[in-house]
A = this chain, B = another copy of it.
Amino acid sequence: MDNKKKVEQITSMEVDFAQWYTDVVKKAELIEYTSVKGCMAIRPYGYAIWENIQHILDGMFKATGHENVCMPMFIPESLLNKEKEHVAGFAPEVAWITHGGSQKLEERLCVRPTSETLFCEHYANIIQSWRDLPKLYNQWVNVVRWEKTTRPFLRSREFLWQEGHTIHATAQEAIAETERMLNIYADFCENTLAMPVIKGRKTESDKFAGAEATYAIEALMHDGKALQAGTSHYFGDGFAKAFDITYSNKENQLVHPFQTSWGVTTRLIGAIIMTHGDDSGLVLPPKVAPIQVIIVPIAQHKAGVLEKAAELKEKLSSYCRVKVDDSDNSPGWKFAEYEMKGVPLRLEVGPRDIENNQCVLVTRHNGEKSVVSLDELESAIPAKLQEVHDGIFARALENRKKRTYDCTSVQQIIDELATKGDGFVRAMWCGDEACEDKVKEMTGVGSRCIPFEQENLSDTCVCCGKPAKTMVCWGKAY
């Protein structure tokens, strides 16, 4: 297929952001649709991004003492029903298995929408004494939620994720774990994905089903909509009581332990696309880009060019993920192709470059060119990749600043959104759910989180005028 055409087929972000997104995920070959409604095929280039995310996050989990396990993918209905709030939250959106082969099952099973119930049953089996605590578990698995409207990566019936599940002797330890993992997510988003996030607590109405407290990180997408990029839940001993999990403490008393869970999903890939992408396609954060440097030989039919490109590839591959495109497509075709695929750095090398022992480096996110000596690549390339990371982070932060509106009245919220477009609204709140609902109804933005970093924007609730308790970050959610 003609590649210029492929790029031209990407709808402009300004014209239709949703269509731009769909075009990018398809044309950059991240996914393909399937006949399984609401489920996608993740293609090699998309899956390689997920593998890089997994690899880095998994290292962070293990460095903080977590171990990977794997629970069954099915949950018997009676097990799902054990914790009342939890089942109420999830039962309406699970897929039910009713038959195995030609036999009707005695009890139907759902495909896990999340695995708290399975972990609880497991804990009850394996935990007896304080010596068995804590257990810091994680699993990388697929889960299913029967969504009505789906979009690749952002909301699909099946998705891939990791779910951490931990159990502790004290509430204090469990709360510390909940916070620690939220911090790890924020660290990962900012320092690996170059995506600024706001850390905060969810309001009561927005908590995970069965949690005492839900923390989240919220990111602002290019179009001004908010995306929940990760969550971390503190359960208290509610699940332990419902599932009869006990341990004998040092005083030899049987008591209930305290639990947490936390997760991020393939949604992060959607977040990357909508945070950094532009009208030419993807812009990938260097740390998770499947290809960090694409080498494009110029005038490759000339003697020595392909050999030099191959030699450079060989050298570079010891410190970055690099590919040479020596196909017979034109350099222009290749430029467009790898721009669309969001490769952070392009290295051009032609006969004149070789003569001068140099090459041209072009950074994807801003198109800047520089001429670099071939002897300096080993320091220049890591520096350029860091420059790209810093550059796209700064750009995303700038976008968020430009689109964050501090408001003291509902009318001001309406005006800001109308004149400046969607974004984060920061406004004070009395803590009353009625005000939360009313703000959403009147302005279209819902509460995203109560940021850990609080500011006192005014003394009164943006909605009812009564004394304010906290500053809330509001937004339109993906």
Residues of A within 8 A of B (CB): 32-36, 39-44, 47-48, 50-51, 67-76, 79, 91-103, 109, 111, 118, 121-122, 125-126, 137, 141-142, 144, 146, 157-158, 160
The distance in angstroms between the C-alpha atoms of A72 and B92, with both chains bound, is: 21
With contacts A96-B98, A101-B146 taken as known, whether A122 is within 8 angstroms of B74 at the C-beta atoms is no
State the oligomeric state as a number of copies. 2
With contacts A32-B125, A35-B79, A121-B34 taken as known, whether A70 is within 8 angstroms of B97 at the C-beta atoms is no
B111 touches A97 (CB 8 A): yes
User: Shortest Cβ distance from A212 into chain B, in angstroms?
Assistant: 25
B68 touches A41 (CB 8 A): no
Contact of A41 (CB < 8 Å), options: B76, B101, B122, B141: B122
A39 to chain B: which residues have CB within 8 Å?
Answer: 72-74
A157 to chain B: which residues have CB within 8 Å?
Answer: 100
Q: Which 4 A-B pairs have the closest CB atoms?
A: A39-B72, A44-B67, A100-B146, A96-B99
User: Shortest Cβ distance from A313 into chain B, in angstroms?
Assistant: 16
The distance in angstroms between the C-alpha atoms of A340 and B33, with both chains bound, is: 48
The distance in angstroms between the C-alpha atoms of A91 and B68, with both chains bound, is: 32
A43 to chain B: which residues have CB within 8 Å?
Answer: 69, 126
Task: Give 9 new A-B contacts, CB below 8 A, not counting A73-B142, A97-B111.
Answer: A32-B122, A36-B74, A36-B118, A40-B72, A44-B68, A93-B100, A95-B99, A95-B100, A100-B157
B96 touches A92 (CB 8 A): no
The distance in angstroms between the C-alpha atoms of A109 and B35, with both chains bound, is: 11
A100 to chain B: which residues have CB within 8 Å?
Answer: 93-96, 146, 157
With contacts A36-B109, A118-B34 taken as known, whether A69 is within 8 angstroms of B92 at the C-beta atoms is no
Contact of A118 (CB < 8 Å), options: B41, B92, B94: B41
The distance in angstroms between the C-alpha atoms of A32 and B125, with both chains bound, is: 8
The distance in angstroms between the C-alpha atoms of A44 and B50, with both chains bound, is: 22
B111 touches A72 (CB 8 A): no
Contact of A68 (CB < 8 Å), options: B51, B75, B122, B144: B51
The distance in angstroms between the C-alpha atoms of A34 and B112, with both chains bound, is: 14
A74 touches B121 (CB 8 A): no
A144 to chain B: which residues have CB within 8 Å?
Answer: 73
Contact of A71 (CB < 8 Å), options: B41, B97, B98: B41
12 residue pairs from A and B, CB less than 8 Å apart: A33-B125, A34-B71, A34-B121, A41-B70, A41-B71, A41-B72, A44-B69, A51-B68, A93-B100, A95-B97, A100-B146, A100-B157
> Nearest residue in B to A108 (C-beta to C-beta)?
B99
A34 touches B95 (CB 8 A): no
The distance in angstroms between the C-alpha atoms of A99 and B95, with both chains bound, is: 6
B76 touches A35 (CB 8 A): yes
B92 touches A102 (CB 8 A): yes
